[in-house]
């Protein structure tokens, strides 16, 4: 999220792609409604379903799943044709908008209407409203990401905002409504198999930096791998780990150093929330060891037939421990323990510490918490023997993670913010009284121990010391002879440098900032601001009003991705076979998170739409969360949604003889099926069904709830929709295509 929920109150138009905040972010959605009250903000919703959010919109477009790129190019087509783009802004701050303009020219409202199903007049009306009411904010969530082209979708949306000059503006930006309360924190901390914490790349230099910061030998880290080459390779993803298990039937080659995955430890994932349950079941069945650390009985234990070496560890909930979490707008909030862990449950960190002890790396694992930076740029040990949880962990993160500017996130400061939450403005997040000069939760980048946080990313209208910045210089200085740095005149307010500049390093700092370093400063300074234990680079930048990461252009062209600019590609299972030849899927990709991943070979294998003519959309309900066990194990919450169901248009149901409330089968192109209750709804078109993914316990028509240990069976169980969500994974992130698939239905 570039801005914040409160900042949405400043928007004059709000366009929502594939997000249903009235249901999934009902508290945050109040800011949208306040924008309406304050500015008469126009709310525009683009969703295949008429959602509760759509019901609050001024204008709604019922789009075919997976066609948001054509829709946005269609908007750009109209914007460019009418000269509504912010040319001064794009010339100074964007690389490659000319290529976008060329592609947009192909997407006339008529072409867009054919591909997306949204009438041309509606596209024109929406574009008019959105372009003429600035600043406009663009919202997205899972409706854009859960596709094979998810990454292209998430590039397309900022491009639209850049064209309109809406990025880096209060009331503008791209505001992605994230999922779990701490999902931003989880990604920031490296719960990803393709980066180290803080998005430090999987490169030797990063490993060496972390070895130093953790107080362990680099060679010790190397020794944990088969050989050093595996340290720079992406690991398996949550979506496809099962392909790495021996005896799982798949023709998809894995590249895992000639060996297989043997053990799986699950902490905080439901497993039944992941696509291709039949394959996941095979993966679980064939593991040597399965450990499920969860406050509830994780339903992976119910799905598998594995009888030995399955351990269910009682994890404490987040109410039984403390530490900070990161909100969707990059701000931190302290969470105090409410009660001591109940019974024999343990908080996650204690489970991990116990594991580290048994596996013999407890000292290496925890040593970093006892280290500090000295002003001379050195690392020293704190004056105590044992660490204090979670304060020392928090300070360790602040010390090490410089890439996204966590230096200012000390335990002391974060607690002070949470304790004084009433001293901050609801809209701007700006502090008052004792909190003056700081923004609530110190939204990152929070460059120094006194910096107040950055409420809106890429905002050049305020000084860097108050959260201002240009775009990041991360991809070189020029590409094909074109300057990648911001043009002259585009710079954060008060900057000593009034033009674009490279990220600041020890080698260029004197030239870039026009300063002379003392010998002592030179000796203390790290090679660049991301690895500088002295923090001198950042400090000097702050003094000059300059952003340490440079001042560059945003790139519309990503030359290292398969599609240099976002391109429309039909879902792997497309209801429009006639469009597949024109907009085909990617080439199959070997070694994608260690697993060969299919695109065109699946898409071109057959005309799926003939046999599976119905679009299948999956998503969320306001009464339930994620894999659903937390709700279904509660007697009273379970009563709100006691059964798994399928939203179906009465016209479609009628043609299959399915009565409202009757059972029906949903079949997938992979040959799997689920039995669910039909629930008539006019929110879906007659060529589409919608199912929530919050149920588990049944598998392809069979009741597996007898597998629950005595006394743990939840009050509600049902089929997981992920048994029938289709094969398909994003080309960059490997997120499953759970928002674009096909199915066939049948009366049960």
- State the residues that interact with ligand MGD by CB under 6 A: 17-20, 24-25, 46-49, 51, 63, 65-66, 68, 141-143, 146, 179-180, 267-270, 273, 293-296, 298, 315, 317-318, 348, 617-620, 622, 624-627, 629-630, 693, 721-722, 725, 738-740
The sheet carrying 310-314 orders its strands as: 263-267, 289-294, 310-314
Cβ closest to Mo ion, residue 179 vs residue 377: 179
Considering CB under 5 A, how many residues would be counted as binding Mo ion?
1
Cβ closest to Mo ion, residue 548 vs residue 628: 628
Q: At what angle do helices 150-163 and 68-82 cross, to 10 degrees?
A: 20
66 binds, among ligand MGD, Mo ion, none (CB under 5 to 8 A by kind): ligand MGD
Provide the minimum distance between the beta carbon of 179 and Mo ion in the complex, in angstroms, as a whole number: 3
Sites for Mo ion among residues 162-181 (CB under 5 A)? 179
380 binds, among ligand MGD, Mo ion, none (CB under 5 to 8 A by kind): none
Buried b (16+ CB within 10 A) or exposed e, 247-274: ebebeeebebeeebbeebebebebbbbb
SS3 string, 211-278, reads: HHHHCCCHHHHHCCCCCHHHHHCCCCCCCCHHHHECCCCCCCCECCCCCCECEEEEECCCCCCCCCHH
Indicate the Cα dihedral angle 417, 421, 426, 429, nearest 10°.
Answer: -10
CA 30, CA 5: separation in Å to the nearest integer?
9
Binding flags for Mo ion, 128-167, as an x/- string (CB under 5 A): ----------------------------------------
Provide the minimum distance between the beta carbon of 195 and ligand MGD in the complex, in angstroms, as a whole number: 18
Closest among 442, 565, 415 to 99, alpha carbons compared: 565
354 CB neighbour count, 10 Å cutoff: 13
315 binds, among ligand MGD, Mo ion, none (CB under 5 to 8 A by kind): ligand MGD
Spatial contact of 598 and 587, defined as CB atoms under 8 Å apart: no
| H or E segment to which residue 541 belongs | helix 536-543
522 binds, among ligand MGD, Mo ion, none (CB under 5 to 8 A by kind): none
Cβ closest to ligand MGD, residue 49 vs residue 540: 49
Provide the minimum distance between the beta carbon of 670 and ligand MGD in the complex, in angstroms, as a whole number: 14
Provide the minimum distance between the beta carbon of 731 and ligand MGD in the complex, in angstroms, as a whole number: 16
The H-assigned helical ranges of 405-468 are: 411-419
Q: Check residue 377 for interaction with Mo ion (CB under 5 A).
A: no
Provide the minimum distance between the beta carbon of 503 and ligand MGD in the complex, in angstroms, as a whole number: 31
Cβ closest to ligand MGD, residue 549 vs residue 612: 612
Binding flags for Mo ion, 211-240, as an x/- string (CB under 5 A): ------------------------------
Provide the minimum distance between the beta carbon of 218 and ligand MGD in the complex, in angstroms, as a whole number: 31
Cβ closest to Mo ion, residue 147 vs residue 415: 147
List the Cα angle 717/723/724 in 5-degree steps. Answer: 125
48 binds, among ligand MGD, Mo ion, none (CB under 5 to 8 A by kind): ligand MGD
Indicate the Cα dihedral angle 475, 480, 483, 485, nearest 10°.
Answer: -10
In the numeric block, which tokens belong to residue 196? 């180290």
Provide the minimum distance between the beta carbon of 566 and ligand MGD in the complex, in angstroms, as a whole number: 14
668 binds, among Mo ion, ligand MGD, none (CB under 5 to 8 A by kind): none
Cβ closest to ligand MGD, residue 179 vs residue 584: 179
Buried b (16+ CB within 10 A) or exposed e, 614-643: bbbbbbbbeebbbbbbbbbbeeebbeebee
List contacts with Mo ion (CB under 5 A).
Answer: 179
């Amino acid at each position: 999220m570039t801005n914040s929920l409160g900042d949405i109150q400043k928007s004059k138009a709000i366009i929502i792609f594939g997000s249903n905040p009235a249901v999934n972010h009902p508290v945050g959605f109040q800011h949208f409604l306040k924008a309406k009250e304050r500015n008469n903000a126009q709310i525009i919703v683009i969703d295949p379903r008429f959602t509760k959010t759509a019901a609050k919109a001024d204008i709604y477009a019922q789009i075919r799943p997976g066609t948001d790129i054509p829709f946005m190019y269609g908007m750009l087509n109209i914007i460019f044709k009418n000269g509504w783009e912010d040319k001064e802004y794009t010339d100074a701050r964007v690389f490659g908008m000319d290529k976008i303009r060329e592609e947009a020219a192909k997407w006339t409202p008529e072409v867009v209407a054919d591909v997306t199903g949204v009438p041309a007049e509606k596209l024109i009306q929406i574009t008019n409203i959105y372009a003429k009411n600035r600043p406009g904010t663009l919202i997205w969530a899972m409706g854009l990401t859960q596709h094979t082209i998810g990454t292209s979708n998430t590039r397309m949306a900022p491009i639209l905002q850049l064209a309109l000059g809406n990025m880096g503006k209060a009331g503008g930006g791209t505001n992605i409504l994230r999922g779990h309360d701490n999902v931003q924190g989880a990604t920031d901390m490296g719960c990803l198999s393709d980066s180290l914490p803080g998005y430090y790349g999987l490169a030797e230099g990063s490993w060496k930096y972390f070895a130093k910061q953790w107080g362990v030998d680099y060679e010790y880290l190397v020794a944990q791998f088969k050989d050093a080459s595996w340290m720079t390779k992406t690991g398996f993803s949550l979506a496809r780990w099962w392909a790495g298990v021996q005896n799982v039937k798949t023709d998809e080659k894995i590249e895992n150093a000639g060996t297989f995955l043997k053990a799986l430890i699950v902490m905080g994932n439901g497993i039944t929330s992941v696509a291709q349950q039949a394959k996941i079941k095979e993966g679980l069945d064939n593991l040597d060891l399965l450990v499920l650390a969860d406050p509830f009985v994780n339903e992976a234990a119910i799905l598998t037939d594995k009888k030995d070496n399955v351990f269910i560890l009682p994890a404490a909930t987040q109410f039984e421990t403390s530490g900070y979490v990161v909100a969707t707008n990059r701000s931190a909030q302290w969470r105090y323990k409410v009660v001591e862990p109940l019974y024999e449950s343990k908080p996650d960190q204690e489970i991990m510490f116990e594991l580290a002890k048994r596996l013999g790396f407890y000292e290496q694992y925890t040593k970093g918490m006892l280290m500090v930076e000295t002003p001379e740029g050195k690392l020293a040990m704190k004056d105590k023997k044992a660490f204090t949880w979670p304060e020392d962990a928090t300070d360790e993160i602040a010390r090490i993670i410089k890439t996204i500017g966590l230096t200012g996130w000390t335990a002391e400061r974060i607690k002070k913010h949470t304790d004084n939450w009433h001293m901050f403005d609801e809209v701007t997040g700006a502090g008052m009284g004792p909190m003056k000069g700081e923004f609530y939760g110190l939204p990152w980048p929070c460059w120094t121990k006194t910096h107040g946080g950055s409420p809106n990313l890429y905002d050049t209208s305020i000084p860097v010391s108050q959260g201002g910045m240009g775009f990041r210089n991360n991809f070189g200085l020029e590409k094909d002879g074109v300057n990648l740095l911001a043009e002259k005149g585009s710079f954060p307010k008060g900057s000593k440098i009034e033009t674009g500049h490279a990220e600041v390093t020890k080698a260029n700092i004197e030239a870039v900032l026009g300063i002379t370093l003392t010998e002592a400063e030179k000796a203390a300074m790290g090679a660049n601001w991301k690895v500088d234990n002295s923090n001198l680079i950042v400090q000097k930048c702050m003094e000059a009003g300059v952003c340490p990461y440079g001042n560059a252009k945003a790139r519309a062209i990503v030359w290292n991705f398969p599609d240099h600019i976002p391109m429309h590609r039909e879902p792997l299972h497309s209801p429009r076979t006639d469009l597949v030849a024109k907009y085909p899927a990617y080439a199959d990709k070997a070694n994608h998170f260690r697993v060969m991943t299919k695109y065109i070979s699946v898409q071109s294998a057959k005309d799926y739409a003939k046999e599976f003519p119905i679009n299948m959309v999956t998503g969320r309900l306001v009464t339930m969360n994620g894999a659903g066990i937390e709700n279904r194990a509660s007697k009273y919450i379970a009563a709100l949604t006691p059964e798994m169901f399928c939203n179906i248009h009465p016209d479609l149901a009628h043609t299959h003889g399915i009565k409202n409330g009757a059972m029906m089968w949903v079949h997938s192109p992979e040959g799997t099926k689920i039995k669910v209750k039909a629930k008539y709804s006019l929110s879906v078109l007659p060529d589409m069904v919608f199912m929530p993914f919050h149920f588990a316990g049944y598998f392809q028509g069979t009741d597996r709830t007898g597998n629950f240990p005595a006394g743990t069976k939840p009050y509600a169980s049902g089929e997981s929709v992920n048994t029938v969500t289709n094969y398909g994974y994003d080309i960059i992130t490997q997120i499953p295509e759970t928002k674009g698939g096909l199915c066939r239905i049948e009366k049960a």
